């Protein structure tokens, strides 16, 4: 069984993960509006991944005899300057989520909640991958600059994400 404090923290994380999906859906809308179909497809996969992260927490809370409540999802932007701006915003958001996951892990350690620690180890590894993906794309966008050919190649490459 989860402590009240851990349950509340996990429920807050569920809401953060759903908000993440919504943020990435806004980014997907930007790419659709700008006709970057590959980047849009990449973000669509990101949306689905964030929903799966939320649901993993959701199921875990119930497995531990907890209860979930859902908050309102805040409005997100669909307006960005360019693809680089989008991915930089994505990286900053992933850093925020990483910090949140680390806070959950600290709480699980303090409470000696070994089951939640085990769950969170997966998320910690996942966040390393998430940040690395955004950092790579940012580096590629910075190298291509305003070169339309470079953007087209990167758009195609990102559209091939599995």
Q: How many domains does the chain have?
A: 1
Tell me the pLDDT tens digit for each residue of 69-92.
Answer: 999 999 999 999 999 999 999 999
User: CA-CA distance, 143 to 150, in Å (whole number)?
Assistant: 8
| Domain ranges, residue 149 | 4-71+80-159
pLDDT at 146: 79
pLDDT at 147: 86
pLDDT at 95: 98
Work out the burial of residue 35: count CB atoms within 10 Å of its CB; fewer than 13 is exposed, 13-18 middle, 19 or more buried.
Answer: exposed
Q: What's the CATH number where 155 sits?
A: 1.20.1260.10
| C-beta of residue 93 within 8 angstroms of C-beta of residue 37 | no
List, run by run, the mean pLDDT of 10-residue segments along the chain (162 residues). 97 98 98 97 98 98 97 95 97 98 98 98 98 97 90 95 80
pLDDT at 32: 98
| C-beta of residue 97 within 8 angstroms of C-beta of residue 127 | yes
Count of all residues that appear for the chain in the document:
162
Q: Where are the alpha helices (DSSP H) in 34-113?
A: 37-63, 83-110
pLDDT at 49: 97
* Rounded alpha-carbon distances, angstroms, from residue 123 to 102, 107, 109, 113: 9, 15, 15, 16
| pTM score | 0.95
Nearest to 13 by CA among 109, 120, 89, 117: 120
């Amino acid at each position: 069984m989860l402590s009240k404090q851990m349950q509340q923290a996990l429920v807050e994380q569920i809401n953060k993960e759903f908000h993440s999906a919504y943020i990435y859906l806004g980014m997907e809308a930007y790419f659709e509006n700008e006709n970057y179909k590959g980047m849009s497809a990449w973000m669509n996969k990101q949306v689905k991944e964030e929903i799966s992260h939320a649901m993993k927490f959701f199921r875990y809370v119930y497995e531990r005899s907890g209860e979930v409540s859902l908050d309102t999802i805040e409005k997100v932007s669909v307006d960005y300057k360019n693809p680089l701006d989008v991915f930089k915003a994505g990286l900053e958001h992933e850093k925020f989520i990483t910090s949140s996951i680390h806070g959950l892990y600290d709480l699980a350690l303090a409470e000696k909640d070994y089951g939640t620690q085990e769950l969170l180890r997966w998320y910690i590894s996942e966040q390393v991958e998430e940040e690395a993906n955004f950092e790579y794309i940012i580096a590629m966008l910075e190298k291509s600059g305003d070169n339309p050919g470079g953007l087209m190649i990167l758009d195609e490459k990102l559209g091939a994400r599995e």
